[in-house]
């Protein structure tokens, strides 16, 4: 009989909760913790064990996942809330949060000093991919540790080892560049098509399968047609990632004009009250810009 790895999952929000369900469905025992316990409580009915502190969840776990808001939250959980203190030397820490690469490297170094292995393994695919177990997982760290968790990652999606510690977060930022710029392009195209007399829905259907096809056009294009901006990925989080991209670009002396422009559009949208709207809601900001221009 195969002995399943014991998993602790810290952070059960929009992405974390469906990921936990995929792990439970694959037969892994999962202990969950969330700062707002009400967000973790429904997972108990699916078979998870809920505890009231992150260190209690991590104690005795073979794998400790985090899916948290930012780098500060991950560092706090690890080093201020006792998770690193209780982790077994045989356990592996896996951070699926989207955080700045320097913070991921710093966390990995501090854990290594304690003899704890770690991976930065941010994901792409949104809540739909998390629920379906089809996430793209970008893992930075030791290739042997990625291989050791192949059965765990298989329950969540497709994992690729992309390099040393921090490389997973670099790839996630590059992914977020593509997502943000493509959302902006699709939104602008929707506005152009409608202004010229075409139906947005028909326009989207017409170009499906051509060179403009993408998951953004498929999923977020549909959101734009339906004007459904309930967050799968909040615009505030998209802005956070774009801020990290621009910080990395500056540190590497890179000029990224498209990313700079779309970052400004998201900053304006968030400032206008769009922080908790889905990032496809950038359409609303661009529509407002055009209304002002035409006034």
Cα–Cα dist 105/111, whole Å: 10
Burial string for 148-174 (b: 16+ CB within 10 Å, else e) reads bbeebbebbbebebbeebbbbbbbbbe
Determine contact, residues 245/263, Cβ cutoff 8 Å: yes
Neighbours of 278 (CB within 10 A): 23
| Structure token pair of residue 160 | 């690729």
Determine whether 277 is an active site residue: no
Determine contact, residues 261/188, Cβ cutoff 8 Å: no
Neighbours of 201 (CB within 10 A): 15
CA dihedral 263, 96, 274, 175 (to 10 degrees): 30
Determine the straight-line distance between the first and last CA of the chain, rounded to whole angstroms: 70
Tell me phi and psi for residue 135, to 5 degrees.
-65, 150
Cα–Cα dist 202/6, whole Å: 49
Check 81, 172, 240, 277 and give the catalytic one.
172
Active site residues: 172
């Amino acid at each position: 009989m195969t002995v399943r790895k014991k998993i602790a999952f810290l952070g059960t929000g929009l992405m974390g909760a469906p990921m936990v369900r995929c792990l439970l469905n694959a037969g892994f025992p999962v202990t969950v913790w969330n700062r707002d316990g009400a967000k973790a409580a429904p997972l108990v009915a699916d078979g998870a064990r809920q505890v009231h502190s992150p260190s209690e969840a991590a104690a005795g776990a073979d794998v400790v996942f985090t899916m948290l808001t930012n780098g500060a939250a991950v560092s706090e959980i690890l080093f201020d809330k006792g998770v690193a203190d209780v982790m077994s030397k045989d356990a592996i820490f896996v951070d699926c949060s989207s955080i700045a690469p320097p913070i991921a490297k710093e966390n990995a170094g501090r854990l290594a000093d304690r003899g704890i292995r770690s991976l930065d393994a941010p994901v792409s695919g949104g809540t739909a991919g998390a629920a379906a177990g089809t996430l793209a997982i970008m893992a930075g760290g030791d290739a042997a540790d990625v291989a050791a968790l192949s059965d765990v990652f298989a329950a969540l999606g497709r994992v690729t080892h992309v390099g040393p510690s921090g490389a997973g977060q670099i790839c996630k930022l590059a992914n977020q560049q593509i997502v943000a710029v493509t959302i902006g392009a699709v939104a602008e195209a929707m506005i152009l098509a409608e202004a010229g007399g075409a139906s947005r829905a028909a326009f989207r259907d017409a170009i499906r399968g051509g060179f403009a096809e993408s998951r953004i056009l498929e999923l977020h294009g549909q959101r734009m047609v339906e004007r459904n901006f309930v967050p799968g990925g909040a615009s505030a989080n998209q802005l956070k990632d774009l801020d990290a991209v621009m910080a990395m670009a500056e540190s590497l002396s890179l000029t990224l004009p498209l990313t700079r422009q779309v970052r400004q559009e998201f900053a304006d949208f968030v400032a206008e009250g769009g922080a908790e709207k889905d990032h496809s809601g950038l359409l609303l900001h661009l529509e407002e810009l055009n209304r002002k221009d035409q006034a």
